[in-house]
Amino acid sequence: MRTWSEPRFHSLGSEGIMPRFYNSATARFEHAPLQDNKATLYVCGITPYDATHLGHAFTYLTFDLMQRAWLDAGVDVVYAQNITDVDDPLLERAQATKVKWRDLAAEQIALFRSDMHSLAMLPPQHYVPVTEQITEIAAAVQTLLDKGFAYRLPVHDVPPEAVAAAPPAGESQGSAAATTTSPAPDAPATTKYDIYFDHQAVSAAGVWQLGDVIKLLPEEYLRLSELRGGDPAREGKHHPLDPLLWRAKRKGEPSWETVLGKGRPGWHIECSVIAAQCLGTPFTVQGGGEDLRFPHHEFSAANAAALYDTPLAHIYSHVALVSYQGHKMSKSRGNLVFVHKLLRAGYSGSEIRLALLNHHYRSSWEWFDQDIVAAKQRLALWEAGFKEPGSDPQTAIEVVAQLRAALANDLDTPLMLGIINQAAQTGVDDPDYLVKAVENLLGVTIYSTPETGMIEL
């Protein structure tokens, strides 16, 4: 799918520092392992049923900065992002607003692209809607059935005689009888099956263990599963935490004809398959918001381990949540600050970035309406401070070295803003060089610069 145009990137005549990042899975700061000087990054994309709010923007800004740190250090980057363009929240919103779900998705994807362009985000090389990968995802689910890492459950809305004809829930699902995509020979034609991931079977095989991404108490896993799209109370599952891989066709829901019959994918398997196809496994960094650690990233990793016999990623990176009016920004609560509304109010993408950059990505924080005003004032201070060399200026090269060190140290953007503030007050001997460095490293445009010396990412 089409993304958005790339922001400009300047040649600075030197390379930065190889960055290190906090690995959520190991609770350590690590230098990401590279292959042939290439970093591969996968970030979970939007479910397009509402516009981009500042919580989204804070997440995508973090991984934009991660790429900028690698690129400044001379590393090649391949970035992939999915779009969950068929899912329950999208279908529910479409029904509530009496809009076709595809039209709603297309509208929100276009708005997201526009917001990302305005915020000078680096676009992914692979931008993949789930609806374009249904066949591949279904084939992966069939592979999990064949390996004995998945099982079928009859859907609840079929007649009782159809349920009676379904394979017993405890039967080995690796057998030929269990892996067929057709109903049992004597079952009514209406028999349909959902397919679930057997996480205990995968654990027993030794390729993945629950807790590889996040270690929690059993009751916390159950609570978060129920809160974040799971169905731990469904009868017949081998284990309450087992996530859905494939949802059989229901009346009024979109579905696709596949090797599994008619239906649509579950959530976690989508990212496992798309990431592996775009980047291979294990790729360098799996990124997303803190609320994706469980169950999404845990079971995406489990799916991939079961499919490919490798870890999904080397590093897991998670961005803290943003609050507004005393609560975490959420669509259900309605306390959202939208990027496009700030843009329409006359604030620039650089000003919005600066408001977000004032917070470290691993620290939860609350947005206040005054934040964007303070960011505008900060940008005006920088513009005034770098119009010409100061009377007792700092060396621009030394300031850039400080900025590179802060960025390479787990994206310490608050420190970077403090360094630039100080430089704006004292002045620097080469303002144009520093302005270009700020645009490269932080994606913030202080003032228009000539196109000479510019290279494209």
How confident is the model over 375-395, as pLDDT tens digits?
999 999 999 999 988 778 999
What pLDDT sits at residue 172?
A: 32
Task: Evaluate whether 71 touches 114 at the Cβ level (below 8 Å).
Answer: no
Same domain, 279 and 378: no
Cis previous bond, 282, omega within 30: yes
119 and 267 assigned to the same domain: yes
**Residue 248 sits in the same domain as residue 392:** no
In a domain, 348, yes or no: no
Three-state secondary structure call for residue 425: helix
pLDDT of residue 391: 76
Q: Which residue has the tokens 């398959």?
A: 273
Regarding whether 205 and 126 lie in a shared domain, the answer is: yes
Instruction: For residue 168, give both structure tokens.
Output: 């017993």
Q: Are strands 256-258 and 244-248 parallel, antiparallel or unpaired?
A: unpaired
Q: Both tokens of residue 50?
A: 């509402």
Indicate whether 271 and 417 sit together in one domain. no
Output 252-255 pairs: Cβ under 8 A, ≥24 positions apart: 253/91, 254/86, 254/91, 254/101
Predicted local confidence at residue 170, as pLDDT: 36
The verdict on 409 and 284 lying in the same domain is no
Contacts of 124 (CB under 8 A, 6+ apart): 3, 43, 79, 80, 81
At 191, is the pLDDT very low, low, confident or very high (cuts 50, 70, 90)?
Answer: confident
Give the integer Cα–Cα distance in Å for 396 and 78.
Answer: 30
- Rounded Cα distance between 122 and 442, Å, is 11
| Per-residue pLDDT tens digits for 105-160 | 999 999 999 999 999 999 999 999 999 999 999 999 999 999 999 999 999 654 44
Mean pLDDT within 353-365? 98
CA 322-69-83 angle, to 5 degrees, is 55
Whether residue 409 is predicted with pLDDT greater than 50 in this model: the reply is yes
Considering the domain architecture, whether residues 131 and 226 belong to the same structural domain is answered as yes
Mean pLDDT of 31-51: 94
CA distances to 78, 160, 232, 248, 293 from 241, rounded to whole Å, are 33, 26, 6, 19, 14
**Does residue 334 sit in helix, strand or coil?**
coil
Indicate if the pLDDT at residue 452 is higher than 80. Answer: no
pLDDT at 87: 94
Query: Residue 177: is its pLDDT beyond 60?
Result: no
Whether residue 150 is found in the same domain as residue 264: yes
Is residue 42 in some structural domain? yes
Please, which contacts does 215-224 make with residues 24 or more away whose CB atoms are closer than 8 Å?
216/294, 221/294, 221/295, 224/294, 224/295
Same domain as 150, residue 268: yes
For residue 39, being part of any structural domain is answered with yes
Q: Both 248 and 386 in a single domain?
A: no
Provide the pLDDT for residue 178: 32
Unique residue bearing structure tokens 């969950």: 84
Counting the structural domains of the chain, the total is: 2
Q: Which two tokens stand for residue 33?
A: 């392992």
CATH number at residue 375: 1.20.120.640
Q: Which of 283, 299, 319 is the last residue of a domain?
A: 319
pLDDT for the residue 448: 55
Instruction: Decide: pTM greater than 0.85.
Output: yes
Let me know whether 401 and 311 are in one domain. no
The string of DSSP letters for 189-202 reads TT--EEEEE-HHHH
Among the residues of 147-288, which ranges form H helices? 160-164, 176-179, 199-205, 218-227, 267-279
In a domain, 301, yes or no: yes
pLDDT (0 to 100) of residue 156: 67
Peptide bond between residue 254 and the one before it cis (omega within 30 degrees of 0): no
pLDDT, tens digit (0-9, with 9 covering 90-100), for 254-275: 999 999 999 999 999 999 999 9
347 domain residue, yes or no: no
pLDDT at residue 70 greater than cutoff 70: yes
Question: Band of the pLDDT at 61, cuts 50, 70, 90?
Answer: very high
Residue 186 to residues 24, 151, 250, 256, 397: CA-CA distances in angstroms?
50, 20, 22, 25, 77
Mean of pLDDT values over 34-41: 96
Report the C-alpha dihedral over residues 199, 204, 206, 208, rounded to 10 degrees. Answer: 20
Mean pLDDT of 181-188: 38
Determine what percent of the chain falls in helix, strand and coil, rounding each to the nearest 5: 40, 20, 40
pLDDT at 444 over 80: yes
**Main-chain dihedrals φ then ψ at residue 71, nearest 5 degrees:** -60, -40
Gap between the Cα atoms of 31 and 153, Å rounded: 43
Give the range of the structural domain holding residue 381, as residue numbers without chain letter.
369-442
Check: CB of residue 353 under 8 Å from CB of residue 442: yes
Tokens standing for residue 222 = 């159950």
Q: Which amino acid appears at position 434 of this protein? A: L
Whether residues 117 and 214 share a domain: the answer is yes
Residue 303 has pLDDT above 90, yes or no: yes
The answer to whether residue 423 is domain-embedded is yes
Alpha helical stretches, state H, 16-126: 54-72, 88-97, 101-118
In a domain, 252, yes or no: yes
Q: Which CATH number does the domain housing residue 288 bear? A: 3.40.50.620
pLDDT at 166 over 60: no
Amino acid 316: pLDDT: 98
Percent of the chain at pLDDT exceeding 90: 86
Q: Read off the tokens for 132.
A: 């374009």
What is the end-to-end Cα distance of the chain in Å, rounded?
19
Give the least confident one: 20-24, 60-64, 240-244, 447-451. Answer: 447-451
Report yes or no on 457 lying in a domain. Answer: no
What are the structure tokens assigned to 76, written together? 């090649």
